[in-house]
Chains A and B, each alone.
Chain A
Amino acid sequence: MIPIPRTIKYESDLDHAFREKIMATQGCENIWSCIQCGLCSAACPISIYMDYTPRKIIAMTREGFREEVLSSRTLWLCASCYACEAYCPQNVNITEIMYALKRHAIEEKKYPRNFPIPELAKSFFTYVKAHGRNAEFWVVFRVWRKVALLRLVKMFPLGWRLLIRRRLPLRRERIRHTRQLKTILSNLNGEV
């Protein structure tokens, strides 16, 4: 028999300290003001692909649905376009809250696995940190190798056509003083 998972939430499933943590981030203080009108979701150009609409993310954050929020794809789909914030009748800084949540998702390693966008972010960052420049082919290659090998095979004909038209350079460019870049970046992350 296939077990049917329970959907009811007990208070012990929730993390009520979570909202305080998010609210402690500058710009995220007014999460309380949300009246759940859904205007953000309707204004958002990406919400049609999100697993939880921006309004739901706000509600779930407030009520301590930490696991669900941090592993949501919504955080990674958000295009930071600020449409939601511009229209919100309560002036909730939704985009800032999305950023704060994304940071928590990275710190707690809760982001959705096998989902290309966090991988893309990671791959881009690692590559640029090492070389000082982006190389589309290698960044994309790494993402798909990680999340969907099969997709990579399917994408071969497209890649080939781009390659022979010299639209997808394989050459890895790098800047001269990569060591200095690394120092700058680790300073930014407070890792000195």
Chain B
Amino acid sequence: MASKNGDIPRIGVYVCHCGTNIGGQVNVPEVVAFARTLPNVVVAREYKYMCSDPGQMLIKEDIQKLNINRVVVASCSPHLHEHTFRKATLEGGRNPFLFHMANIREHVSWVTQDPEKATEKAKAIVEAAVYRIQFHEPLESKHVPVHPDVLIVGGGIAGITAALTLADAGKTVYLIERESSIGGHMAKFDKTFPTLDCASCILTPKMTTVKDHPNIHLMTYAEVLEVDGYVGNFRVKVKKKPRYVIEDRCIGCYVCIEHCVYKTPKHPSEFDEGIGLRKPIYIPFPQAVPLVAVIDPETCIEFKSGRCPKKCQKACREIVGRDAIDFTQKEEILEIQVGAVIIATGFQIFDPSRIPEYGYGRYPNVYTSLEVERLVNASGPTGGAIVLRDGRKPQSVAIIHCVGSRDRNYNPWCSRVCCMYSLKLAHLVRERTGAEVYNCYIDMRTPGKGYEEFYEKLLHEGVHFIRGKVAEVTDWTINPEEAGKLVIRVEDSLIGVVRRIPVDMVILSVGLEPRSDAEELRRLFHISCSAEGWFLERHPKLAPVSTYTDGVYIAGACQGPKDIPDAVAQAGAAAGEVLSLVDRGVIELEPNIAVIDARRCSGCHVCIALCPFSAIAFHAEENVARINEALCKGCGVCVGACPSRAISQQLFKDEQILAEIEGLLMVD
């Protein structure tokens, strides 16, 4: 049988034992003996580990000595070693696409119980590969250049770290942040576990470096609208929301805010989690980057009635001489081109009003942990004083762990950081108020460098640790000791009794969950989410910051709950991956693309609308459709749809697939 391109196929078949992974289930010598009987098979061998150097040598030697021109390796999944064996084929002197992999591990030995049946199935799969490979042709991989600029979405600690790493390496970085300042959650904290170093002391310098770095284009109050293109060549549309203050003119002097017609702040501050108040014109926090005022049109009188004396504008113009306030500012759409993307959009906290038993929103002195972070923050609404809503200092505080986490009724996962931040808050509460603190936990999870030591430190500080999940927080009191307090009911499970504990303040250690708009972002960038909604990494161990979309990486808490050290480590890893891609300068594309036979194309346009990657364009002069090789992902949609059968897909041509099926059916 001669192949299409004229040569007589001389096939080498190599069956791998994969240790006992395959050999333990499949009778490998029998498969090899069978392979020798197949048409055009010149040599068939077995080896313990085909992917090892000596295994690959077998292929190279047979190509050279026996003049093998087609290679079939029966082993594991192509995901793992297709690349290895294509390379071996190339090094032996043949086109790498004259190789085909038969998967007899994932498809056979790992999923078949009976060794006899497993052996039969392995033979069928090998036969299919041998039939198919006769129709393989030499192909050339395409190379496309990589745009050197990088887009980072999300300016929390993860996005900031990745941006600085890349910018320091000389790359141009576009950092897009949705809020009016970068910093993310970390900017809200006073101290960070386990070392209790001051969050703003370590974060603020990084934030200002981002602002001043010549290689970073910072866009705050901005969001990604559209993403087009593919690895190495993304075109991204960004929407900049109007802040009604011209960024380049504002010097962050606060004069406008002082002169606002609202003499005192009246509106809950988003940054302070509603614990503090702000005016319609505000700067979210003193260390904000960029340090630029924002006007909230929802609360600004000028936007609501058009009849405000606009004292802020006057003050900025006349007192500061900057004239930075512009009530007519419109949203802007910008287009940028980048070669790679890092998504670092972080998390949102669980909304505890979903658990009515805990009384959040009903009892004023039930707080979320994030609200308390603002309370303890020296630049927060109370200047760092831990006080109740009525200004009293609490004498007893309960911290409830696992709120919304480890609970199938809400989120089943462990949020990983809340045990540690609960310990941190327990320490801060004791340090600043001397109150009795009760930490009610299910399991104390402190895995991390210096974390268990931190727990130990808290034990010495006299915090009560009660092992049990709190059932309810109530103001229904039953004795004078409880009067005027909130009572928590919990089983002290180490002792085995139920306890009622009256406290002044309850802190809910809310869990971390995916942002509510994660799904939209996922669609924009064509990446996947886990069932819970976290962005999915390509491999949980070996490719933790890559996604299934080439050129798009993830870092920080958008991939799953994690603390600052882990978020920073991931950001570094993502920056490393981007550098490796961008500095390579070119990418090789798999040649499994579709091609249109212009002689057969009737110009019907059917394929054009169907292509999910917009890879097909119509050429009116010749009245034919043509596929852009760089854009085609080889999905095959057009191939099946073309009514003129003008489209074929390399590596998946009709005759290849039919031969494969025929081979499969030959074994009875």
A binding-site residues for B, Cβ under 8 Å: 35-39, 41-44, 47-48, 52-53, 55-56, 87, 89-91
Contacts and interface: CB of A to CB of B under 8 A. Distances in A.
A39 B471 contact: yes
Interface in B395-440: 402, 406-409
Contacts of A56: 496
Contacts of B489: 42-43
B121 to A, nearest CB: 35
Given A37-B406, A38-B468, A39-B471, 13 more contacts: A35-B406, A35-B443, A37-B493, A38-B442, A38-B469, A38-B490, A38-B491, A41-B491, A42-B468, A42-B471, A42-B498, A56-B496, A91-B409
B620 interface: no
A38 B467 contact: yes
Contact of B409 (A38, A42, A44, A89): A89
A56 B498 CA distance: 12
B357 interface: yes
Given A42-B491, A87-B357, A47 B496 contact: no
Given A87-B357, A87-B471, A38 B493 contact: yes
A47 B496 CA distance: 10
Q: Which 4 A-B pairs have the closest CB atoms?
A: A38-B491, A42-B471, A89-B407, A38-B468
30 contacts: A35-B406, A35-B442, A35-B443, A37-B402, A37-B406, A37-B442, A37-B469, A38-B442, A38-B469, A39-B468, A39-B469, A39-B471, A41-B493, A41-B498, A42-B471, A42-B491, A42-B498, A43-B471, A43-B472, A43-B489, A47-B491, A47-B498, A48-B498, A53-B493, A53-B496, A55-B491, A55-B493, A87-B357, A89-B406, A89-B409
A41 B468 CA distance: 9
Contacts of B469: 37-39, 42, 89
Contacts of A53: 491, 493, 496-498
B468 to A, nearest CB: 4
Given A48-B498, A53-B496, A91 B408 contact: yes
A39 B408 CA distance: 13
Contacts of B492: 38
A37 B492 CA distance: 10
Interface in B464-513: 467-472, 489-493, 496-498
Contacts of A37: 402, 406, 442, 468-469, 493
B contacts with A: majority SS = loop
B221 to A, nearest CB: 39
A35 B468 CA distance: 10
Interface string B495-537: 0111000000000000000000000000000000000000000
Nearest to B408: A91
Contacts of B407: 89
Interface residues of B, number: 22
Contacts of B498: 41-42, 44, 47-48, 53
A23 B330 CA distance: 65
A53 to B, nearest CB: 6
Nearest to B468: A38
B408 A89 contact: yes
B115 to A, nearest CB: 32
Contacts of B493: 36-38, 41, 53, 55
A56 B494 CA distance: 10
Contacts of A41: 468, 491, 493, 498
Interface in B105-164: none
Contacts of A87: 357, 471
Contact of B496 (A42, A43, A44, A52): A52
Contacts of A44: 498
Contacts of B409: 89, 91
A55 B497 CA distance: 10
A39 B471 CA distance: 5
Nearest to A92: B408
Interface in B440-466: 442-443
B9 to A, nearest CB: 56
A39 B489 CA distance: 9
A48 B499 CA distance: 9
A55 B492 CA distance: 11
Contacts of A89: 402, 406-409, 469
A17 to B, nearest CB: 25
A29 to B, nearest CB: 15
Contacts of B406: 35, 37, 89
Nearest to A48: B498
B490 A42 contact: yes
B510 to A, nearest CB: 15
- The winner among A37, A44, A89 for most chain B CB atoms within 10 A is A37
B528 to A, nearest CB: 27
Nearest to B443: A35
A51 to B, nearest CB: 10
A36 B442 CA distance: 8
B407 to A, nearest CB: 4
